[in-house]
Structure 1
Amino acid sequence: MSRPTRALIVDDEPHLRMYLKLILKQIGFTDFLEAENGQVGVDLYKEQTPDLVLMDVNMPVMEGLEALELIMQHDEEAVVVMTTSVASRQAVEQSVELGASHYIRKDTPKEQIIELLDKLIREIWEED
């Protein structure tokens, strides 16, 4: 299977969507969808079925965990990585229970985020 190239970035802060897009470009993503809240993210996922979703936990209209749950109900093969400023143990555990592939704090150094996402992609898409 070829490497994924299409990502959906769901975050209510435009500068963070831009930052995450720059990170994804460094690991080969070329096609981006953006959503400012969980509801828009769920709708875009259902319409476009991107390869990867980066989902903020705390957002207006619909929280990230609720959006994660709806996406996983729609597509149990979805690859969703939760991103957050506050990584409480409860939120991490709930994300995993709901089907998130990974959980990344936004204050993680950029190089470490790139490394984590690249490793995740290699594991999921089984690139040799």
Structure 2
Amino acid sequence: MVQVLVVDDTRFMRTILVNILTEEGFEIVGEAEDGQQAVELYLKTKPDLVLMDIIMPKMDGMMALKTILGVNPAAKVIMVTAIQSVEMAKLAFKCGALSYIIKPFQKQGILQEIDKVLHQ
């Protein structure tokens, strides 16, 4: 079973993602509401995949992405954000994100991206 860490500062978005993923048979190993918690939970749970928001308190998603990849360069991180910026997407990929999904998203779209990233 694929283990996933869900990171978003809004409970509503975390709930949507958790519901989609659990319905599809993924195991949610943790939920974080900021980048600092994301890094701590990543180190504790070592998930197969991280779904990460960008704009969050304490530590943003880009810094959390860099920190996680500093610990494990093979970590699989997908940025899930409302930021519709080509520059931000390029930065996310440059920092090591494997995909960039814009909110709001369709269930099938996010599942396809997850499948693509897991099989890279």
**TM-score over 0.5 for the pair:** yes
The one of the two structures with greater contact order (alpha-carbon pairs below 8 A, sep at least 6) is 1
Counterpart in the other structure of 1:86:
83
1:28-107 equivalence runs, <5 A: 28-107=25-104
What TM-score do the two structures reach when normalised by structure 2?
Answer: 0.92
SS at match of 1:83: strand
> What is aligned with 1:111?
108
DSSP 3-state at the match of 1:24: helix
Task: Note the C-alpha offset of 1:30.
Answer: 2.1
- How many residues are matched? 120
State, as a whole percentage, how many aligned pairs show the same letter: 38
Q: Which amino acid aligns with 1:51?
A: D
Question: What is the RMSD of the two structures over their aligned residues, measured on CA atoms?
Answer: 1.3
Cα distance in 2 between the residues matched to 1:119 and 1:23: 17
CA contact (8 A) 1:11 1:35 kept: yes
List alignment gaps of at least 5 residues for structure 2: none
Distance 1:8 1:26 in 2: 15
Which aligned segments of 4 or more residues in structure 1 are displaced greater than 4 angstroms? none
Quote the offset at 1:32 in angstroms.
2.7
- Tell me which residue corresponds to 1:21: 18
